[in-house]
Amino acid sequence: MKVHFLGTAAAEGFPNVYCHCQTCQTARERGGRDIRTRCSVIVDDVLKVDHGPDSYMQALRDDIDMSLIQDILMTHTHFDHLCPGDIISRMKGYAHGIETPLNIYGNELALYQYRTALLEEGEEDEQNQFHRLKPFQTVQIGEASVTPLYADHDQNEMCLLYFIEKKGKSILYGHDTGWFPEETWTWLETKKIDMAILDCTTGQTGHKRGRGHMSVETVIEVHKMFQEKNILNENARIVVTHFSHNGRLLHDDLEAIFKPYGVEVAYDGMVLNL
């Protein structure tokens, strides 16, 4: 599987364009991997996880043909992950030469927001198909088997993580979340992971098992738990993403912290292959 990291920042972006903290100032000066847009990945050019407000710019930046996207997995409805009006640009009269429908998967609230955006524009749904997901119920999406898992992120919404299996390889898409709920840990104990993509929003807090988002310490603790429960395949990759400037860690800082643990730090435009 090919994993293309479109964005690697938390909700406010990195740097925050309204912010004058030292971390944001330094990120602007350095540029490069310290400039981060809102989180999303594309798997094998056809499966996109989340569709936030930076998707258009990310596609231009990385020369991505968005018409190839067949399926979108939504983790939750926070504004940095869901920008429902964007799919109108894919529909007839806006885009030409697209014959296949776009399949959108997620919880009831995510699907409702997509449908509402289309209705507000007076558009029909014939080019969009909506699929409500339930935790721990595996669905076949193209050539991939996808299982939604519980996240611990927003207590007012059923937020989802995703376990994606394809051609003998597996990816755990593990953010936005704090320490995984027990039901998710129990399910993962029966699996093997080739790549885990983990939340690292809050920087170094000293808390190993916090809620909502992960810290550096939580990521290290999750990695340790993976090893103890023998969840990782040989040569499995742990990748961190979803960084906030409030964590006060730039790309080089993150790489120095995680290098002793063999954890990789994602950056915008990074492509990894399994």
pLDDT for res 19? 98
Whether 119 contacts 128, CB under 8 Å: no
Residue 69: give its domain's CATH number: 3.60.15.10
CA angle 147, 159, 105 (to 5 degrees): 50
Q: What ranges in the chain are assigned the alpha helix state H?
A: 22-30, 55-61, 108-120, 182-188, 216-228, 251-258
In the chain, the amino acid numbered 112 is Y
Whole-model pTM?
0.95
pLDDT by residue for the chain (274 residues), tens only, comes to 999 999 999 999 999 999 999 999 999 999 999 999 999 999 999 999 999 999 999 999 999 999 999 999 999 999 999 999 898 888 888 899 888 889 999 999 999 999 888 877 666 667 789 999 999 999 999 999 999 999 999 999 999 999 999 999 999 999 999 999 999 999 999 999 999 999 999 999 999 999 999 999 999 999 999 999 999 999 999 999 999 999 999 999 999 999 999 999 999 999 999 9
Helix (H) or strand (E) holding 161: strand 160-166
Whether 257 contacts 205, CB under 8 Å: no
User: Structural domain of residue 75, as residue ranges?
Assistant: 2-273
Give Cα 122 to chain centroid, integer Å: 30
CA angle 45, 134, 202 (to 5 degrees): 70
The tally of domains found in the chain comes to 1
CA angle 5, 111, 79 (to 5 degrees): 50
User: 């093997």: which residue's tokens?
Assistant: 192
Whether 192 contacts 232, CB under 8 Å: yes
What is the Cα–Cα distance from 234 to 67, expressed in whole angstroms? 35
Residues 6 or more apart in contact with residue 246 via CB below 8 angstroms = 21, 202, 203
Residues 6 or more apart in contact with residue 93 via CB below 8 angstroms = none
